[in-house]
Amino acid sequence: MPTNRSWVLAHRPNGMVQETDFELRESAIPKPEAGEILVRTIYCSLDPAMRGWIVDRPSYVPPVRIGEVMRAGGCGEVVKSNNPGFVPGDLVTGMTGWQEYCLSDGSGLMAMRRLAPGTDLRASMGVFSGAGMSAYFGLLDLGQPKAGETVVVSGAAGAVGSVAGQIAKIKGCRTVGIAGSDEKCAWLVDELGFDAAINYKTENVAVRLHETCPDGIDVYFDNVGGPILDMVLAQIRMKARIVLCGGISAYNAEVPPPGPANLMMLVGMRARMEGFIIIDYIPRFPEAGEEMGRWMAEGRLKARDTIVEGIEKAPRALQMLFEGANTGKLLLQVGAEPAG
């Protein structure tokens, strides 16, 4: 008899998230009550924000409770439905969590959105998920890049950064990516069309920024925070916009490290730094999806993902995210894609 394996939060992490912070449980596959659907998980998304969800402090969503299934975005297939909005076979996306099967009554945090039949599930978890949407709205709404300007993106080979940099190119900007390996840098320049890429693990980022952005930096799309943000601040141009999408460099720190010493560059350069949370843009996802879909069809926007297979690898996959082991979107494959 098939079972439902799920990872629950065992205790709150101290520093880098560990496999032992979670516990793998096995139980009967749940039965949907009236109004509920049972979803078989196919992919789970690994996102830096998940590190924040397991810390017990006020945030934009309540923290995952100890003993609760680990929260995760994902997609799957409806296998049973007691909800008139869904039929078995429907592809859906929502907060599946780290589990092989989940129940949803279609509301709240557990709301499920139906995907069109034949949807490319991996793309739905990347470019068309919160990651791609963060790139789109963060860059365009907050960064407001203009043709001819210089845009720098950190975490540039990740799910968000790789899309942000490509959109900057589409908008006619000189685009420089910062990433953590020569292979990632080559991908950015050779396949995605970035003008330059900097390997922050082997190169002097300040010097290379100076070389690759000789006129200074107009827009910085920041996924990492930390020392790189500081080095960018030292080289911003007048009226620069810094988009704070995240600060992955410190997500596993128990105490936040000091901020950028060059912060007062914002004064002399009349510059702006602004943060955002992508859930505020959910009502506008369709317009972004349509435009990015067109760019993909035209070959101007490319996506890559890194797949880790098996529900049992979920905590390890989360660690890989913080180690920068992925290129493009990092996904956990929990179940098989539907045949055909």
Distance (Å, rounded) from C-alpha 224 to C-alpha 243? 11
Distance (Å, rounded) from C-alpha 111 to C-alpha 41? 14
Distance (Å, rounded) from C-alpha 73 to C-alpha 76? 10
Closest CA to 276 of 109, 136, 68: 136
Distance (Å, rounded) from C-alpha 18 to C-alpha 36? 33
| Residues touching a second copy, count (CB under 8 A) | 34
Quick one: which of 274, 287, 312, 323 contacts a second copy (CB under 8 A)? Answer: 274
Asked if 247 interacts with a second copy (CB under 8 A), we say: yes
Distance (Å, rounded) from C-alpha 230 to C-alpha 263? 7
Site string for a second copy, 55-84 (x = CB under 8 A): ----xx------------------------
Closest distance of CB 305 from a second copy, Å: 24
Q: Which stretch binds a second copy (CB under 8 A): 15-23, 90-98, 116-124, 254-262?
A: 254-262
Tokens 């000789």, residue located = 214
Asked if 276 interacts with a second copy (CB under 8 A), we say: yes
Asked if 246 interacts with a second copy (CB under 8 A), we say: yes
Asked if 258 interacts with a second copy (CB under 8 A), we say: yes
Asked if 85 interacts with a second copy (CB under 8 A), we say: no
Please, which residue, 61 or 207, has the CB nearer to a second copy? Answer: 61
Name residues contacting a second copy, limited to 186-225 (CB under 8 A): 225
Closest distance of CB 227 from a second copy, Å: 11
Distance (Å, rounded) from C-alpha 70 to C-alpha 230? 33
Closest distance of CB 53 from a second copy, Å: 12
Query: With 0-12 CB in 10 A as exposed, 13-18 as middle and 19+ as buried, what is 162?
Result: buried
Asked if 262 interacts with a second copy (CB under 8 A), we say: yes
- Residues 161/163/169/173 CA torsion (nearest 10 deg): -40
Identify each DSSP E strand in 32-71 by its residue range.
37-45
Site string for a second copy, 35-54 (x = CB under 8 A): -----------------x--
Asked if 170 interacts with a second copy (CB under 8 A), we say: no
Quick one: which of 66, 87, 264, 282 contacts a second copy (CB under 8 A)? Answer: 264
Closest distance of CB 321 from a second copy, Å: 17
Please, which residue, 73 or 76, has the CB nearer to a second copy? Answer: 73
Identify each DSSP E strand in 95-157 by its residue range.
101-104, 112-115, 150-154
Asked if 282 interacts with a second copy (CB under 8 A), we say: no
Under DSSP, the state recorded for 284 is G
Q: Which stretch binds a second copy (CB under 8 A): 22-30, 125-133, 269-277, 283-291?
A: 269-277
Query: With 0-12 CB in 10 A as exposed, 13-18 as middle and 19+ as buried, what is 316?
Result: middle
Name residues contacting a second copy, limited to 221-240 (CB under 8 A): 225, 230
Q: What are the DSSP calls for 195-234, one per residue?
A: SEEEETTTS-HHHHHHHH-TT-EEEEEESS-HHHHHHHHT
Closest distance of CB 319 from a second copy, Å: 21
Quick one: which of 206, 277, 320, 325 contacts a second copy (CB under 8 A)? Answer: 277
Residue 35 and residue 106 in contact, taking contact as beta carbons nearer than 8 Å: yes
Quick one: which of 24, 189, 269, 325 contacts a second copy (CB under 8 A)? Answer: 269
- The residues binding a second copy (CB under 8 A) are 52, 59-60, 225, 230, 244-247, 250, 255-277, 280
